[in-house]
Amino acid sequence: MNSDIIRELKEKSNSKFADFSAKLLPGIPREKILGVKIPQLRLIAKNIVKNNKYSEFLDEKHYFIEEILLHGFILGYANFTKEELISEIEKFLPLIDNWEVCDCTANSLKSIKRDKEFYYKKCKEWLNSDKEFTVRFAVVLLLNYYLDEDFDEEIPDILAKYETEKYYINIAIAWYFSYALIKQYEKVIDKFIKKEIKNEWVHNKSIQKALESYRISEERKKYLRGLKIKGSGVKQRENDNKNIDKQE
């Protein structure tokens, strides 16, 4: 099974795209990147699920990042019960070692919408993980699926107090707050007025990203600019020019 998938992935690979992807994924060895584009991977994953050939693949070891991405997409496309999906996600989380796999998988888990309360409890558990990408995975799920009618002010409270030097967690939290400013402005603006976000870099980055949105009025943008913390001594490793988050 795995050899057939790898053969198909190699047929669709592009070395120039692989070189480009490698620049966006620091820490991932170039030899582990084939260079298959996300839309192609999604089609392959859908075909695997359609032909009901995914069980064996999910249990196999993966080498190429595209295999791990396929695994994540299959979790989103296969018809699991909520208990089965949580079990599969728990097995998958240790495989996540980069923002692309993390975010693409989280963005694909549309079945979460069918039982948000059930998955919400797991998100809060994952926020307590000591693994960088498990925490980021939870934040991206909360950003994607819990900022609308079922918004819970408990999450901004938790994330505002979160303290870490791990870039991929901090940028995800900043993205969460930027989207919260778009969707739940009145409920989160006090976090910025009262400077309740402990990480000043996250505070400023959240505002910066919100200012880039066309969904925030010019009046609010003007106000938000005035809430930026000047002369912050907090430094955060900046990867914005070489890491293009899916949320970005």
Q: Which two three-digit tokens encode residue 88? A: 């599969």
Burial 72-109, CB ≥16 within 10 A → b, else e: bbbbbbbebeeeebeebbeebbeebebbbbbbbbbbbb
pLDDT of residue 50: 93
pLDDT of residue 234: 53
Portion of the chain with pLDDT greater than 90, in percent = 88
Confidence of residue 239 (pLDDT cuts 50, 70, 90): very low
What single-letter DSSP state applies at residue 117?
H
pLDDT of residue 4: 87
Domain boundary assignment for the chain: 1-79
For residues 146-173, average pLDDT: 95
Check if the beta carbon of residue 113 is closer than 8 Å to that of residue 84: no
Q: What is the pTM of this model?
A: 0.92
Tell me which residue of 118, 171, 174 sits closest to 145, measured CA to CA.
118
Average pLDDT of the chain to the nearest whole number: 92
Tracing tokens 């739940």 back to the chain, one arrives at: 184
In tens, the pLDDT along 55-84 reads: 999 999 999 999 999 999 999 999 999 999
Distance CA 223, CA 2 (A): 54
Q: Is the pLDDT of residue 232 over 80?
A: no
Q: Cα separations (Å) of 185 from 3, 15, 192, 204, 227?
A: 50, 44, 11, 16, 14
Confidence of residue 235 (pLDDT cuts 50, 70, 90): low
Distance CA 78, CA 85 (A): 9
For residues 232-238, average pLDDT: 54
Q: Is the pLDDT of residue 246 over 90?
A: no
Number of helices (H), then strands (E), belonging to the chain: the values are 14, 0
> Which residue type does 103 have?
D
pLDDT of residue 132: 97
For residues 150-164, average pLDDT: 95
In tens, the pLDDT along 178-221 reads: 999 999 999 999 999 999 999 999 999 999 999 999 999 999 99
Q: Is the pLDDT of residue 167 over 90?
A: yes
pLDDT of residue 244: 46
Tell me which residue of 207, 130, 148 sits closest to 173, measured CA to CA.
207
For residues 115-137, average pLDDT: 96
Question: Coil, helix or strand for 163?
Answer: coil
Burial group, residue 53, by CB count within 10 angstroms (0-12, 13-18, 19+) = middle
